[in-house]
Amino acid sequence: MKKYTIETIVGIFVVFGLLCIGYMTVKLGHVSILGDDSYPIIARFTSVTGLRAGNPVNILGIEVGRIEKISMDQENQKAIVELRIKKGIKIYDDAIASVKTEGLIGDSYLSIDPGGGGELLGPRGIITETQSPVDIIELISKYAFGEIKSDKDVKKGGSKK
């Protein structure tokens, strides 16, 4: 009888452990099981360097969604970024989407200024005003090789040599 009691207790712990692992997988993987509480928005960029599916979408520094898919429009030579935004977040047709980087060499994310002067964007709405990421490597190389003038040089009216 004692053998079955120990096996039952071990079985309960195993089932509880599997339920915990399943819960954490869903929470950390940003997977929705019971229903989708988000809607799709599309943004068109000239460059999305460093951005990938799964990166966060922020408004005012608060995460409001994720990047679902990145593809290319061959006709217009644009990168198409499909986003999932939480329901209840209002984004207008004059919104501005820009690719930002956390820190100097951190992960990229999409920042949205939601606008407010136009019509509300519905599901599959398109954000047309976008800003591509700044190429940090290019800026550093320009500064290192003297292609960027410092404030002192601009005030003097001369160039750095």
Segment 94-128, tens digit of pLDDT:
899 999 888 777 788 999 998 888 888 888 888 88
- What's the distance, Cα to Cα, between the start and end of the chain in Å? 91
| Domain-embedded: residue 145 | no
Which CATH number goes with the domain that contains 66? 2.40.30
| Domain-embedded: residue 146 | no
Report the domain count for the chain: 2
Among 62, 51, 61, smallest CA distance to 101 is for: 51
| Domain-embedded: residue 156 | no
| Domain-embedded: residue 94 | yes
- Residue-wise pLDDT tens digits, 34-90: 556 888 999 999 988 888 998 999 999 899 999 999 999 999 899 999 999 999 888
Q: Both 117 and 73 in a single domain?
A: yes
Taking the alpha carbons of 94, 134, 100, 67 in that order, is the dihedral positive or negative?
positive
Range of the domain at 74: 38-135
pTM, entire model:
0.65
Q: Both 121 and 44 in a single domain?
A: yes
